[in-house]
Amino acid sequence: MSKNILIISTSLRKNSNSGALAQAFANGAKNAGNNVEIISLENKKIAFCRGCFACQKTGRCVIKDDASEITEKMAQADVIVWATPIYYFEMSGQMKTMIDRANALYVRNYAFRDVYFLSSAAGEEENCDERAVHGVEGWIACFENTRLAGKVFAGGVTDIGDIKEHKALEDAYEMGARIS
């Protein structure tokens, strides 16, 4: 049975390295027969969470911008994939902002069970993505039936296209292809 997979690409840079990981994952998942949608945060209007917690009562955010539509798609997805550049050993600010704005999911019925994490960075250290992974795991911990199902990290990629021959593209493709 095919799954509905939502990939949220959080880089604001056109043709980004983390976006290439997202596309590779999508290609693998599509070839495995899944329904895949990639949402890029590039050109999206997403305000910071106000911390009003109205969403905890209504299941909807009071701020009317692109985050509300993305949150609705997240609720319906069987699988969520986050793709982000690593900045200063952490996820991008726009990814964190989107996670915060998806707070309404906490009190709602949500379909997703598996979450994947794709990241790229200039740094090549093996644990360069560790803090970002912990951040995603913190979000996942709020959803009782959800788990981090896998991650792919591409280190040593700075400029657009640096990822072109990186093994992480193959790893992302294969991870997507295993979803069924």
Crossing angle between the packed helical segments 93-101 and 66-76, to the nearest 10 degrees: 70
Percent of the chain residues past pLDDT 70, beyond the cut: 100
Domain ranges of the chain: 4-177
Which tokens sit at 79? 């699988």
Which tokens sit at 171? 């790893």
Inter-residue contact 93 to 58 (CB < 8 Å): no
User: What are 40-73's pLDDT values in tens digits?
Assistant: 999 999 999 999 999 999 999 999 999 999 999 9
Distances in whole angstroms, Cα of residue 87 to Cα of each of 91, 102, 166: 6, 21, 19
Which tokens sit at 94? 């726009």
Distance separating alpha carbons of residues 81 and 10, to the nearest angstrom:
11
User: What are 76-108's pLDDT values in tens digits?
Assistant: 999 999 999 999 999 999 999 999 999 999 999
For residue 1, name the pLDDT band (cuts at 50, 70, 90).
confident
Q: Can you give the pLDDT at residue 126?
A: 83
4-177 CATH: 3.40.50.360
Which tokens sit at 140? 């996942």
Q: Can you give the pLDDT at residue 172?
A: 98
Distance separating alpha carbons of residues 46 and 109, to the nearest angstrom:
23
Task: Find all residues with CB under 8 Å of 37, minimum gap 6, and list them.
Answer: 4, 5, 6, 7, 73
Inter-residue contact 28 to 44 (CB < 8 Å): no
Percent of the chain residues past pLDDT 90, beyond the cut: 98
**What's the number of CA atoms in the CB half-sphere (13 Å) around residue 178?**
11
